[in-house]
């Protein structure tokens, strides 16, 4: 009977040894799948990051162009305001009056209204 018991124990031992690699194989297959999924996610988020950085860089250049345009417009507004102030100066007005052969008014007479008018 001991021989029979020894054969059964050897058979059980072989089954246990042959079962372990299958479990390890499934474990390593799962780990491999997980690693591939993690690598795919890293690649996906890397491409997403690059796209976002590129978008931000383009927006930065656009903002810089708009700031340059704003500075140019502010400078032109300043020049135009200076020209308006120059044209409204009394010296320029007097030069234009002489150029148009206008005569200055010496005395101003205002019409007097004698009747009083009531406002309703």
Residue spans per domain, the chain: 2-99
User: pLDDT tens, 57-111?
Assistant: 999 999 999 999 999 999 999 999 999 888 888 888 888 888 888 777 788 888 7
Report how far Cα 98 is from the mean position of its chain's Cα atoms.
57
Global pTM?
A: 0.47
Question: What residues have CB less than 8 Å from 97, skipping those under 6 apart?
Answer: 104
List the structure tokens of 103: 């005569």
Give the separation between CA 44 and CA 41, rounded to whole angstroms. Answer: 5
3-state DSSP assignment of residue 114:
coil
Give whole-number Cα distances, 81 to 71, 77, 108, in Å. Answer: 15, 6, 33
Give the per-residue pLDDT at 103.
77
């Amino acid at each position: 009977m001991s021989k029979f018991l020894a054969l059964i124990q050897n058979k059980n031992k072989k089954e246990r040894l042959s079962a372990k690699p299958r479990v390890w194989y499934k474990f390593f297959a799962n780990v491999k799948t997980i690693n591939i999924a993690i690598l795919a996610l890293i690649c996906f988020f890397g491409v997403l990051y690059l796209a976002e950085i590129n978008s931000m860089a383009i927006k930065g250049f656009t903002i810089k162009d708009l700031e340059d345009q704003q500075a140019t417009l502010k400078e032109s507004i300043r020049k135009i305001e200076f020209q308006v102030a120059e044209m409204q100066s009394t010296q320029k007005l007097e030069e234009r009056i002489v150029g148009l052969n206008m005569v200055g008014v010496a005395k101003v007479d205002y019409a007097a209204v004698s009747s009083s008018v009531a406002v309703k």
